[in-house]
């Protein structure tokens, strides 16, 4: 008896599984399938991406459905159109030997009437995105009042994308008697809330450690100055000529900007994010699958549906806030038994995030140096030599050889080789000849000048325009600096900058962690102010308001607002234009002037083969 039969699956499924070439059930399949087949229960199954969750619910679902009844019996909700189509496709493959079973995909960006018509013809299983499903229900195009099963797939992502209300509303049109199967890679609070609000004491299945990444993936990080992020990215691409990668940024805006720069610099790159139309996204994914795009720059949400094997590198251009997100990102590589590398480009002040990831994922990062220009040149040269060696020669060329030989007659073989190689190589060597070392050097800060006693007042370049009020800034600083409630005082928030105090013992920490720290894509700069902020004694901020209870907060930082990459505009210059700096004394030598200068010598990289299909699509706002 084969392993899948042992789980209780019937012949038609076992046949289809054979066709698919699955030999052994994955762990989540092993745990979920018998349970779902034997019992009519609600379950919550947690297993990381790529562990075969689709089949874990798909197999038992197909077996439990009555194919002779044409009514809709199951609804599978999934976050994106990509995933919706992927699941539909899988379910169709699994059920190919089940006569009369029909699965219909329901998603935005395609004709709602066509989808409604397909459902009318009889669809026992509907796979839908929440938005379009809600639409169909409102328009009375679908009836889910008699479904027996509802699957919430990639529940964490659906909630991330703001589908809670849609899900709630859709579920309100389903009968209480239905069973709900929730599948998710992670279990954030919102998912727990769904389980609590909409499920009937679900049985929980957890596979592996909740946050463990794939063991096929090695993790590396490169410490650079924040201004060198992009140059470092280029070098990482150049040192891996066959790179096939997904590059993650935190915001749509950064995603678009990085992709545009890469394209401008001649790389086969494109952006993937939610502001692209569905057609544009499909186009990008098609080019990526077809390898016309080597570097796909994506937001976390947009990349969730990427199911492309063979991705060699995942590059965290910026680290995400959540370790779980990092787990997802790195899971884009090392798939299907292959190995992959997950790279993090960070500034020194973010180093502690690495140990946090290491702790939670129970994995180790390797610290690496950004390759030098000369290393890259050598690798590119060898790559080129190999390419020349491997190139197929078309016999057509014989016709032209006499003339070509005539032109090249004077060259020795050695000279010929040099010239051919130089054709490709010159641009690398000229670009990298004078390149500097990008790996961040030990802190240039002059620690001798850190005050050792009394209170220290700081000037920091974030304020109201970054959505901070004194309370949220204090919270932000406390969390970032890991300081206690009373370690920070006299927090004073102005439009474009703020002040705060700590005891001198924390000055070193404040300066080293906060300087260069990125908040919403903006680099924080902190300086020690000579002004002590009034009396030297401590007082609580704004007196009576700190009495606890329900604090009336202003908008929290870290919301949707994004900052444009800073480009050439220097924080310092901008601030000094304001003339509001009466509170700020002379800085005490903590300025790292260099940090505000854009790299000029590395603006343009060597051009690569570039073809028109790979340019970044234009932005167009889109409602999903």
Chain residues that interact with ligand ADP, rule: CB under 6 A: 22, 24-26, 29, 47, 49-55
- 309 vs 415, beta carbon nearer ligand ADP: 309
- The 3-state DSSP class for residue 267 equals coil
Angle (CA) 262-614-246 rounded to 5° is 60
Partner in contact with 22, chosen from Mg ion, ligand ADP, none, beta carbon below 5 to 8 Å by kind: ligand ADP
- 118 vs 307, beta carbon nearer Mg ion: 307
Partner in contact with 151, chosen from ligand ADP, Mg ion, none, beta carbon below 5 to 8 Å by kind: none
- Minimum CB–partner distance for residue 618 and ligand ADP (Å): 31
Task: Provide CB contacts within 8 A for 73, sequence distance 6+.
Answer: 65, 66, 124, 125, 146, 147, 148, 149
- 14 vs 385, beta carbon nearer ligand ADP: 14
Partner in contact with 51, chosen from Mg ion, ligand ADP, none, beta carbon below 5 to 8 Å by kind: ligand ADP
The CB density around residue 521, as the number of other CB atoms within 10 Å, is: 18
Task: Provide CB contacts within 8 A for 37, sequence distance 6+.
Answer: 7, 8, 9, 60, 63, 64
Task: Provide CB contacts within 8 A for 537, sequence distance 6+.
Answer: none
**Contact 332/246 with Cβ under 8 angstroms?**
yes
- Minimum CB–partner distance for residue 335 and ligand ADP (Å): 7
**Contact 209/362 with Cβ under 8 angstroms?**
yes
Tell me the two tokens of residue 350. Answer: 């973010």
What DSSP string describes 158-179?
HHHTT-HHHHHHHHTTS-TTSE
Tell me the two tokens of residue 410. Answer: 């004077």
Residue 213 DSSP code:
P
- Minimum CB–partner distance for residue 91 and ligand ADP (Å): 11
Measured CA to CA, the distance from residue 8 to residue 33 in angstroms comes to 8
Partner in contact with 55, chosen from ligand ADP, Mg ion, none, beta carbon below 5 to 8 Å by kind: ligand ADP
- 49 vs 231, beta carbon nearer ligand ADP: 49
CA distances from 459 to 34, 477, 486, 582, 621 (A): 61, 13, 19, 11, 38
Partner in contact with 52, chosen from ligand ADP, Mg ion, none, beta carbon below 5 to 8 Å by kind: ligand ADP
- 133 vs 450, beta carbon nearer Mg ion: 133
Partner in contact with 25, chosen from Mg ion, ligand ADP, none, beta carbon below 5 to 8 Å by kind: ligand ADP
Phi, psi of 298 (to 5 degrees): -140, 155
Partner in contact with 565, chosen from Mg ion, ligand ADP, none, beta carbon below 5 to 8 Å by kind: none
Tell me the two tokens of residue 264. Answer: 């401008």
- 53 vs 81, beta carbon nearer Mg ion: 53
- 22 vs 468, beta carbon nearer ligand ADP: 22
Query: Can you list the positions of beta strands (E) in 262-339?
Result: 269-272, 295-298, 313-316
- Minimum CB–partner distance for residue 260 and Mg ion (Å): 31
Phi, psi of 435 (to 5 degrees): -70, 150
Partner in contact with 149, chosen from ligand ADP, Mg ion, none, beta carbon below 5 to 8 Å by kind: none
- Minimum CB–partner distance for residue 17 and ligand ADP (Å): 8
- 22 vs 470, beta carbon nearer Mg ion: 22
- Minimum CB–partner distance for residue 275 and ligand ADP (Å): 25
- 13 vs 513, beta carbon nearer ligand ADP: 13
- 53 vs 219, beta carbon nearer Mg ion: 53
- Minimum CB–partner distance for residue 51 and ligand ADP (Å): 4
Report CA torsion sign: 353, 354, 355, 360: positive
Measured CA to CA, the distance from residue 303 to residue 274 in angstroms comes to 10
- Minimum CB–partner distance for residue 36 and ligand ADP (Å): 15
- Minimum CB–partner distance for residue 577 and ligand ADP (Å): 51
As beta bridge partners, residue 181 has 43, 151
Q: How many residues does the chain have?
A: 624
547-554: long-range pairs with CB below 8 Å, 24+: 551/471, 553/469, 553/471, 553/472, 554/467, 554/468, 554/469, 554/471, 554/472
Return the HEC string of 344-404: EEECHHHHHHHHHHHHHHCCCEEEECCCCHHHHHHHHHHHHHHHHHHCCCCHHHHHHHHHH
- 211 vs 231, beta carbon nearer ligand ADP: 211
- 29 vs 512, beta carbon nearer ligand ADP: 29
Partner in contact with 50, chosen from ligand ADP, Mg ion, none, beta carbon below 5 to 8 Å by kind: ligand ADP
Burial-class residue 21 by CB neighbours within 10 Å (0-12, 13-18, 19+): exposed
- Minimum CB–partner distance for residue 336 and Mg ion (Å): 14
Q: Which residues bind Mg ion (CB under 5 A)?
A: 53
- Minimum CB–partner distance for residue 480 and ligand ADP (Å): 33
- Minimum CB–partner distance for residue 47 and ligand ADP (Å): 6
């Amino acid at each position: 008896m084969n392993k899948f039969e042992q789980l209780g699956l019937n012949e038609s499924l076992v046949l289809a599984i054979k066709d698919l070439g699955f030999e052994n059930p994955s762990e989540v399949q092993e745990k979920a399938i018998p349970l779902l087949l034997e019992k009519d229960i609600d379950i919550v199954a947690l297993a990381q991406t790529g562990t075969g969750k689709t089949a874990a619910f798909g197999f038992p679902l197909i077996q439990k459905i009555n194919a002779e009844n044409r009514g809709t019996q199951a609804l599978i909700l999934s976050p994106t159109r990509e995933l919706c189509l992927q699941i539909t496709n899988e379910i169709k493959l699994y059920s190919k030997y089940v006569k009369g079973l029909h699965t219909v995909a329901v998603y935005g960006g395609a004709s709602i009437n066509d989808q409604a018509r397909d459902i009318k013809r009889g669809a026992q299983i509907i796979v839908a995105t929440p938005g379009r499903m809600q639409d169909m229900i409102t328009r009375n195009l679908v009836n889910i009042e008699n479904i027996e099963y509802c699957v919430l797939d990639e529940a964490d992502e659906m909630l991330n994308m703001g589908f809670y209300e849609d899900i709630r509303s859709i579920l309100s049109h389903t009968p209480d008697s239905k069973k709900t199967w929730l599948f998710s890679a992670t279990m954030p609070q919102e998912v727990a809330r769904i389980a609590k609000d909409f499920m009937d004491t679900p049985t929980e299945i957890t596979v592996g450690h909740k946050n463990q990444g794939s063991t096929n993936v090695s993790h590396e990080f490169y410490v650079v100055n924040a201004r060198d992020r992009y140059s470092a990215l280029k070098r990482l691409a150049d040192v891996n000529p066959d790179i096939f990668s997904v590059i993650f940024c935190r915001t749509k805006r950064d995603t678009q900007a990085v992709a545009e720069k890469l394209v401008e610099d001649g790389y086969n790159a494109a952006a993937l994010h939610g502001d692209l139309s569905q057609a544009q996204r499909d186009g990008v994914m098609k080019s990526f699958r077809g390898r016309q795009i080597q570097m796909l720059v994506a937001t976390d949400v947009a990349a969730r549906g990427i199911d492309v094997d063979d991705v060699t590198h995942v590059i965290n251009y910026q680290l995400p806030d959540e370790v779980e997100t990092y787990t997802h990102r790195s899971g884009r590589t090392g798939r299907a038994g292959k190995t992959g590398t997950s790279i993090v480009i960070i500034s020194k002040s973010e180093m502690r995030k690495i140990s946090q990831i290491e702790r939670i994922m129970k994995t180790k990062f390797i610290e690496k140096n950004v390759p030098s220009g000369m290393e890259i040149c050598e690798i590119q040269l060898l790559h080129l030599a190999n390419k020349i060696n491997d190139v197929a020669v078309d016999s057509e060329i014989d016709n032209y050889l006499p003339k070509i030989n005539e032109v090249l007659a004077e060259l020795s073989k050695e000279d010929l080789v040099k010239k051919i190689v130089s054709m490709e190589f010159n641009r690398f060597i000229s670009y990298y000849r004078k390149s500097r070392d990008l790996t961040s050097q030990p802190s240039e800060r002059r620690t001798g000048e850190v005050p050792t006693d009394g209170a220290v007042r700081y000037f920091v370049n974030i304020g109201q325009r970054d959505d901070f009020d004194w309370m949220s800034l204090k919270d932000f600083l406390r969390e970032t600096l890991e300081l206690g409630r009373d370690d920070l005082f006299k927090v004073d928030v102005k439009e474009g900058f703020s002040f705060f105090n700590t005891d001198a013992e924390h000055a070193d920490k404040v300066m080293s962690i906060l300087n260069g720290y990125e908040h919403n894509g903006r680099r924080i700069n902190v300086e020690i102010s000579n002004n002590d902020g009034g009396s030297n004694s401590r007082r609580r901020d704004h007196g009576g308001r700190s009495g606890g209870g329900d604090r009336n907060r202003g908008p929290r930082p870290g919301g949707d607002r994004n900052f444009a990459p800073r480009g050439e505009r220097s924080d310092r210059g901008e601030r000094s234009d304001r003339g509001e700096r009466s509170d700020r004394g002379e800085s005490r030598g903590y300025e790292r002037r260099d940090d505000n200068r854009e790299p000029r010598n590395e603006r343009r990289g060597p051009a690569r083969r570039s073809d028109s299909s790979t340019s970044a699509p234009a932005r167009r706002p889109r409602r999903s």
